[in-house]
Structure 1
Amino acid sequence: MKEIKAYIREAMVDQVVDALGKLPGPPGVTVLDVQAYGHRPGGDTLERTRMAKLEVDVSDDSFDRVVDTVLKHARTQAGHPGDGKVLVSELAGAYRISDGAFGEQVLDG
């Protein structure tokens, strides 16, 4: 199981979420508004910008398809600095609160 965190431009959120929703067995997505601080190319000071953070937990079988979808739909035209980043972590486990189920099957609903 993988946890995918994507920091993307606010303007790209609907496009990315819509594309994820068209995948077979679409994953659940959490979207948070965040303030990010980063350097502009060639700059040496931190600048604040508003971004969106998407969190998606997926099975190993869905991982490549979900990451590819985020990369394709979060990129602006030819790609620009500030389009964002995708970070991936291994999940040690997942539990469903309602019935205590454990494992990849809890990611499906």
Structure 2
Amino acid sequence: MKLVVAYIRHEAFEPIRGELLNLGFPSLSITEVKGSGRQKGVTERYRGADITNYLRPKVKLETVVDDGDVQTIVDTILKHARTGAVGDGKVFLIPVEESYRIRTGESGSDTLQAHTPDELAS
């Protein structure tokens, strides 16, 4: 199992979420974050003073998937998040040792089963 963590532009989120849902991966955690990287700061004029903001808003997307599904998730993120400009974001893969479904007590990959299109329609 892997934890896929992606920092992306806000406008990339809906296309990624939609395609992952259609592929059977509806389980995502989303956090609005700010950070700095290679992007330059944005300078704005406020009440006669120049203010430079180096922290850029991003969306942090997290999901845990089976090892065999990692490339599908990463390819989907890259497909929709890549504009070719500085600030497109990053994707990180982190090993997950174990997972548990609290409701049933299931553990391991049983807790991560991707959904079929039929399950998503109901």
Q: Same fold (TM over 0.5)?
A: yes
CA separation in 2, counterparts of 1:39 and 1:18? 28
Is 2:64 aligned against 1:64? no
Amino acid at match of 1:34: V
Q: Which residue is equivalent to 2:10?
A: 10
CA separation in 1, counterparts of 2:102 and 2:112? 12
CA separation in 2, counterparts of 1:27 and 1:62? 13
Identity %: 37
Q: Which runs of 5+ in 1 are unaligned?
A: none
- Which is greater in Rg? 2
Q: Which residue is equivalent to 2:34?
A: 35
The total of aligned residue pairs comes to: 103
What is the TM-score of this pair, normalised by structure 2? 0.77
User: RMSD of the alignment, in Å?
Assistant: 1.8
What is the TM-score of this pair, normalised by structure 1? 0.86
Off by >3 Å, runs of 4+ in structure 1: none
